[in-house]
Amino acid sequence: MYIKQAFYFLHDWWRYLLGGVLIFIASQLGAIPLLALVLFKVMAEGGDLASLEDPNTLMTTLDSNLTLFLMLLSFAIGLGVLYLVVRYFHKQPFKTVTTSRERTDWGRVWFGFGLIAVATVVLTSIDYYMNPADYVVQFDLVPFLILAVIAIVMVPLQTSFEEYLFRGYLMQGIGVGAKNRWVPLVVTSVIFGGLHFFNPEVSKIGNIIMVYYIGTGFFLGIMTLMDEGMELALGFHAGNNLVAALLVTADWTVFQTNSILKDVSEPSAGVDVIMPVIIIYPIFLAIMAWKYGWSDWGEKLFGKVVPPPKDEVYDEFV
């Protein structure tokens, strides 16, 4: 039902193509303030434009809290434009991109958030006590409080933009075009993972980390299709990024923040990258399946999306 909802509104293929382009352009325009301020500071200090080709320059020239805010600003702008595209270009209530339920289930959002937040804190704490030499405590109250305010406000906007774009807008758009569930799952997961190719983690660890990024896309897509809504994915993604920003950072990650801990170990390209995809994610899915009574996996992940009769209306929106 989640994908099928899009049939009740303006769902021409060209609308999704044009809407996707508009959303992309908006998010890129949102990155201009960060680029402009970095350029201004680099030039004021006698640098040159060539130095901006180094991603590290972009991430370290300004104060880390200011950099984080400006970096996340582009996602907030993208989310706003995505809302306008859905609401006025597709004439579709935004709730129907979120869920197939009568209303958004905030309990599911908080469950997804809490599941990954608790797991991350526990696993990081265990690793810290087992390998203390791999971490440096860098807690500084004032910068951390500023970080916390920025992260609590902006990180959910960033993760919501990604979820609404991939597990919402594109999942429904590709689904009504393909008239099945597995094509949008595969396409959105691969694109989601592929867009992380330019993250600094890839150059540090190697292409093997793409298994993690694409696997995460499949994980979030599977929970969305099985649960007939994005609530769990929205909460999980926000919890993952927010706790990561506040708890631990490293010189080679996309989020370089005034977090509590700094990981100074040399990252591994082996089991640490693949373990979440083959072990932790299946455990999370099993927990969600048990809690929410998921069944009929084959149909929900690979079944057809049948258009409603042309004279049928969606009573909730008449």
Task: Record the tokens describing residue 23, joined without a space.
Answer: 């959303």
262 touches 249 (CB < 8 A): yes
pTM of the prediction? 0.92
Question: In degrees rounded to 5, what are phi and psi of residue 179?
Answer: 60, 35
55 touches 110 (CB < 8 A): no
Determine how β-strand 248-249 pairs with β-strand 261-263.
parallel
Taking only the tens of pLDDT, the chain with its 318 residues reads 899 999 999 999 999 999 999 999 999 999 999 888 888 888 777 766 666 666 666 777 788 899 999 999 999 999 999 999 999 999 999 999 999 999 999 999 999 999 999 999 999 999 999 999 999 999 999 999 999 999 999 999 999 999 999 999 999 999 999 999 999 999 999 999 988 887 777 777 778 888 889 999 999 999 999 999 999 999 999 999 999 999 998 877 777 788 999 988 877 766 677 888 999 999 999 999 999 999 999 999 999 998 887 766 555 554
Element (H, E) at 106: helix 106-130
Q: In this structure, which amino acid lies at residue 49?
A: L
Q: Distance from first CA to last CA of the chain, Å, rounded? A: 18
Whole-angstrom distance, CA of residue 69 vs CA of residue 5: 35
193 touches 217 (CB < 8 A): yes
For Cα atoms 181, 169, 300, give the angle at the middle one, nearest 5 degrees: 20
